[in-house]
Structure 1
C-alpha cells in the first residue's frame, strides 16, 4: 500500500482510520489533514465554493508524501475527486467504495444522513456506481433529524442512537442500508438485528486503500 493521505473535516476521523489501517496493514502510516472550515463553508455556500481550498489541502497532503488520498467528508467528496487529476495524485471520496458495494447488494437502497448537504451527493454517487456496474437501483433518502447537533456537541451515544432510529424507519423497504457519513460507522452494530446489510464507509475505504 502506498502511504495514504486523508482530508478530514472533523478530527474524530483521525483515530478511526489510524486504528483501521493498523489492523489491516500495521506497516502503513497515514498523513492526516483536518480542516473543519471546509464543511462549514460548503454547507453555507455550496461545495463548489471550497474547490480551490480543497485543492490546496490535497496538494499539501501530496507534498507530505501521500500517494493516494481519501476525502472523508461526503459533502465535499465529489469536489475532492474532481481536483485530483490536475494535482497528479489519486483522490477518492470515502463513500465511493461503499457505494459500489451497496449497488451490488440489492436494488432498493436506503440511505441515512445526518446532514442535508450529504443527501444529494450520496444519491448521485449511488446512481453513478449503479450505471457503472449496469445495476438498476431505487434510492430512498432520509435525514436523521436533530442528529448533527448531537455530533457537534460530542454526544456520540445519542448521535448514533438517532442514526439507528432513522435507519430502522427505512429498513422494511430496503434491501441494503447505507450510513452516508463516516461518522455514522458506530451505528452499524446497533442495527445488526435487522437481517439486511448495513454499510458504513470507514472500514470499506480502508480495505480499498489496502487494495
Structure 2
C-alpha cells in the first residue's frame, strides 16, 4: 500500500494521509517542460504531491470547446465570448472511487490552436503537464498566482470527493502568466479539506 493510503480505518472510512501541495511545484514543472518526453513521462505533479507511483493512479481528462464567460473574460483580459478550451481533470488512487481533487482548466484557443494535439483529449495525460503543452506553441510561463479560499462543499462536491460530514473544501484558483504578461491558463481546483495540506515556502534574497 502506498504511503498516501493506509489500510487502517477511522469510523469505517479509509484513513488517508494528506497530499501536500507546495508552490515549488511550478518551478519543478517548468524545469521539466523542455526535457525529453521519456524524462517527462516518468512522473507528474500528482505523484510529486502525494508520493504515489504512476501505477497507483487512474487519470481521466475531458475537453470541451466553450466561450469565455464575463468572469473568465475578465481573468484572461479578453472580450466575453472569446473561444476557450475547457479541460476537466480527475485523478484517483486505484483503490479509491473518489478523485484526489476536481480540476477545471481554461486555455485560450487562439494561443494553442497552432498545435492541434493540444485540442485533443486523447493525448492526455500529457507528459510534463500544462507548461510542457504551452512550450510546444512557444509560450513560456513567467509566473503563477494562486488564490485559496475555503467553504462547505456543495452536495455534489461532497459526493464526488467522498467527504466525511463537516469537512470543508479548499478552492484554489491558479492564474498563469507568460513572459509577455498575458494570462495563458486559468485553473480552478477543488480540494478535499480532510486530506489536503497547502505548504508555501518563500525564499528571500540574501543581503
TM range (shorter): under 0.3
Answer 1 or 2: which has greater helix percent.
1
Answer 1 or 2: which has greater strand percent.
2
The structure that has the greater radius of gyration is 2
TM-score normalised to the size of structure 2?
Answer: 0.26
